[in-house]
Amino acid sequence: MTFSGPVTIRLPFPVSDLDRLGIRTTDVIRIYSYSSLTGSWEEISDVEIDLINGYITFSVTHFSIFCITAWTPDISPGQIINYPNPFDPTGGTTTIKYMLPQAGPVSLKVYDVSSSLVAVLEDEGTQKSANVEYAVEWDGRTDSGRIVANNVYFCVLSAQGTVYVRKIVVLR
């Protein structure tokens, strides 16, 4: 269906989702419409995003299915990130992304605040390439399968004699 002129659409979204995902700026949010002619998603430009009240406003000239997305953060060599952070293990996982400045064996482990090992996500000696983005999911469970308590955890990536640490907050 095509309209005779532009129609303004205002979509609400829960601001709490942005907080949960660690999104603080509008530059990672995108709006797409589905084109039945091409069978693909097309990005909509000239979008206004109200992070305070939780609205996205844009104009279109045809009826469609719309999708709101948030691009995940880019990472650089020698960096480790995770999202969402904090996360609720009873409702999902957190994605841990990392990139190595040089190829070699890695280990990726999660520790609690008392330095006790909680989970091994990548075994010692797992070979990884340089300048490649890797993603690992953590479901908030210990290696024995128990869901961890609300707390701060430390994701520790060891590679080529260097240790990278990322705080992960579990909040149910």
Residues 87 and 60 reside in one and the same domain = no
pLDDT of residue 136: 93
| pLDDT for res 108 | 97
Which residues is 1 bridged to in the sheet?
none
Do residues 84 and 133 both lie within one domain? yes
Residues 6+ apart with CB under 8 A from 125: 105, 107
Ranges of H-type helices in the chain: 15-21
**What CATH number corresponds to the domain at position 24?**
2.60.40
148 in Cβ contact with 154 (< 8 Å): no
Is the whole model's pTM more than 0.75, yes or no?
A: no
SS3 state of residue 170: strand
Residue 1, pLDDT score:
65
Give kind and range of the element (H or E) at residue 140: none
Walk along the chain (172 residues) and give the pLDDT tens digit of each residue.
677 889 999 999 888 877 666 666 676 788 888 888 877 788 888 899 998 898 999 998 888 888 887 765 667 788 899 988 899 999 889 999 998 888 899 999 999 999 999 999 999 888 998 888 888 999 999 999 999 999 999 999 999 889 999 999 999 8
- Cβ partners under 8 Å of residue 159, min gap 6: 100, 102, 104, 105, 106, 107, 128
Report the pLDDT value the prediction gives residue 21, as an integer from 0 to 100.
62
- Examine the fold and report which residue of 46, 70, 94 is the final residue of a domain before the chain moves on: 70
Distances (CA, A) of 140 to 20, 24, 32, 127, 170: 15, 24, 32, 24, 8
Contact 157, 77 (CB under 8 A): no
State the residue range of the domain holding 124: 79-170
